[in-house]
Chain A
């Protein structure tokens, strides 16, 4: 079967750094996505990794290791508005996105 695993919930402090991990097992791999979703809203795109390594985009970075089936999303200088669910998704060889259940990130002042 295909599955994406990520922690259900994480808590961090404003101004700190948090790393959200994602492990995956899918039928083929065409890329890994991270999305942010605020309650009651559609997901918004954060990052895309297809090659191993770190992709940095402002306060957010995403890392991929295809051999380990592993990715993480790193959020720096946390702000209260970063409180949201973070969804990891992998595109398989059929060009379908397989979604993780999402990690609810709670930011405390």
Chain B
């Protein structure tokens, strides 16, 4: 149990376009979802925390107007990278946690390349 999926797994887009990444909890209700970014050879960096039905809480230095997060249901959260630039190229990973869980369950990640 506790499976999290992400779509797409890889995406290449042109500079200036927007990209949407979906994160789904397949077999449990995720009251909280987290979005991380990871640059090569670096640790995970938390971008934002989202609770179902409320606005996401962004970490310091993360532009909320650039990285739009929507947690519309207990099984789906989306991250939209707006007006993407090459420096946004990274590995984006979501994780989800149920109401009584201490563990965060990670999605497989999305490799974004902006050309």
From B32, B45, B46, B108, contact of A42 by CB (8 A): B108
Interchain Cβ contacts within 8 Å, total number:
41
A95 to B97, CA, bound (A): 11
**B106 pairs with A44, CB closer than 8 A:** yes
B87 interfacial by beta-carbon distance below 8 Å = no
A99 to B104, CA, bound (A): 13
Known: A97-B46, A99-B44. A42 touches B104 (CB 8 A): no
**B102 pairs with A48, CB closer than 8 A:** yes
Chain B neighbourhood of A91, CB < 8 A: 102
**A41 pairs with B109, CB closer than 8 A:** yes
Chain B neighbourhood of A102, CB < 8 A: 43
* Residues of chain B from 90 to 107 with CB closer than 8 A to chain A in the complex: 91, 93, 102-107
**B44 pairs with A41, CB closer than 8 A:** no
Chain B neighbourhood of A42, CB < 8 A: 93, 106-109
A96 interfacial by beta-carbon distance below 8 Å = yes
* Residues of chain A from 1 to 46 with CB closer than 8 A to chain B in the complex: 30-31, 33, 40-45
Chain B interface, number of residues (Cβ within 8 angstroms): 19
**A48 pairs with B49, CB closer than 8 A:** no
Chain A neighbourhood of B46, CB < 8 A: 96-97, 99
**A45 pairs with B103, CB closer than 8 A:** yes
Chain B neighbourhood of A43, CB < 8 A: 44, 93, 106
A90 to B105, CA, bound (A): 15
* Residues of chain B from 64 to 115 with CB closer than 8 A to chain A in the complex: 91, 93, 102-109, 111
B35 interfacial by beta-carbon distance below 8 Å = no
Which B residues form the contact surface with A (CB < 8 A)? 32, 34, 42-46, 49, 91, 93, 102-109, 111
30 A/B residue pairs, CB under 8 Å, sorted by A: A30-B102, A31-B102, A33-B103, A33-B104, A40-B111, A41-B108, A41-B109, A42-B107, A42-B108, A43-B44, A43-B93, A44-B106, A45-B103, A45-B104, A45-B105, A45-B106, A48-B102, A48-B103, A50-B102, A87-B44, A91-B102, A96-B49, A97-B34, A97-B46, A97-B104, A99-B43, A99-B45, A100-B43, A101-B42, A102-B43
